A = this chain, B = another copy of it.
Amino acid sequence: MARRGTSRNSGKTDLDARKATILEAVVAEHIDTAQPVGSSAVAQHADLGVSPATVRNEMVSLERGGYLAQPHTSAGRIPTDKGYRYFVDHLQSGELKAAQQYQLRDFFSGVRGEVEEVLERTSALLAQLSGYTSVIVGTTATHSTVLSVQLVNLERRHQLLVTVFSDGTVLKHSVVTTEDIEYATCLEASAQLNALLIGTTLESRVQVPSRSDSVSHLIAEAVSVLHAERPTREDEKVFIGGASKVAEVFDGVETVRQVLSILEEELLVVSLVEDMLDRGVSVAIGSEHGYAPLSSAAVVVAPVHVDGVAAGAVGLIGPTRMKYQEVMAAATAVSKNLARHFEGGASAD
């Protein structure tokens, strides 16, 4: 599975063809078995007509190059992060299994409902397809404009500001005042807020009239609450699917704990994924992303573009010895389907 001797020797760190084949065989085998891989296994399994002894020599060289490591003398080799990196970089992209393609199509042909619900269920699907924990980050396009604003009188001194954006997002914010607010005041403020904000984005500068009547106060307060939204970045929703897979695919209680605790911190997950997107990386192995507790994990992401605009990403988290080919296929497939869903379908993200 997934082998190809002919490697391009254009890149600078490229290995010669045979080393590459051997490295790839070791990685593939180790991903399969979770065991150190020995020279004879490689000699058999990779069909270069060469004896184990030769393979051993090459392996020594690969170890010197930092691609392989030995748990102890007289055990087989295990890929290092660098080894995995090479493997991934030289992986030709694969296809989803037919059964999974059907499943995907099925799912997306039948899915309906709110954005959040779709993403939630999609992340469950992706986890199930891939066998690993999935992450879907919905980047609320900061470009989306305000479609409607409304102040609702919850209690005398407590208004709820409900803002609807062009991408279908609804934000709510409490506006607490020191004085009782009349219903009429609230209505009036709503109307003015609408006039003021419709068509703007959260980043727009808005000129708030600074008169000192109660309506103006309310408006000023509402606008400031709404714009305070920015720094918290809380509008980036994260959907995690198959969290229980963590216990299956990672070894060691401590590792499981660490991965879970990362997943709990939504902000961390978001910035991890965004960092990768920014750097244009689709796979981060081991310590390649800077997140220490995830150093025994690999993260695969695929961006989601809706109508040509970055709208978020889907990701998968597993051990460094995860099934990259399948996982990447699943991620890109889901990302594409998701994009198509939101482009063609009733909702936008």
Q: Which residues of A contact B (CB under 8 A)?
A: 113-114, 117, 124, 147-148, 150, 152-155, 157-158, 160, 162, 164, 166, 168, 170, 172-174, 176, 234, 241-244, 246-248, 253, 256-258, 260-261, 263-264, 346-348
Contacts and interface: CB of A to CB of B under 8 A. Distances in A.
Given A147-B152, A160-B170, A166-B154, A264 B243 contact: yes
Given A114-B174, A347-B158, A247 B243 contact: no
Contacts of A113: 174
Contact of A244 (B166, B241, B257): B257
A253 B248 contact: yes
A225 to B, nearest CB: 10
B176 A346 contact: yes
A154 B169 CA distance: 10
B243 A253 contact: no
Contact of A164 (B160, B241, B242): B160
A332 to B, nearest CB: 24
Contacts of A258: 244
The 3 A-B pairs with the shortest beta carbon distances in the complex, nearest first, are A244-B260, A244-B261, A247-B257
Given A150-B150, A152-B148, A168-B160, A264 B247 contact: no
Given A160-B170, A162-B170, A242-B264, 17 more contacts: A114-B173, A114-B174, A147-B152, A147-B154, A150-B164, A154-B348, A158-B347, A168-B174, A174-B346, A174-B347, A243-B263, A243-B264, A244-B258, A244-B263, A247-B247, A248-B253, A248-B257
A348 B152 CA distance: 14
Contacts of A176: 346
A247 B242 contact: no
Contacts of A152: 147-148, 164
9 contacts: A148-B152, A150-B162, A150-B164, A160-B164, A160-B168, A243-B243, A247-B256, A247-B260, A260-B260
B158 A346 contact: yes
Contacts of A261: 244
Contacts of A260: 243-244, 246-247, 260
A132 to B, nearest CB: 13
Contacts of A157: 346
- Looking at A173, A234, A241, A264, the one whose CB has the most chain B CB atoms below 10 A away is A264
A162 B164 contact: yes
Contacts of A117: 234
A124 B264 CA distance: 10
A166 B148 CA distance: 20
Given A257-B244, A257-B248, A154 B174 contact: no
Contact of A147 (B153, B242, B244): B153
Contacts of A253: 247-248, 256
A162 B162 contact: yes
Contacts of A234: 117
A253 B176 CA distance: 48
Contacts of A346: 155, 157-158, 174, 176
Contacts of A243: 243, 260, 263-264
Nearest to A257: B247
Contacts of A153: 147
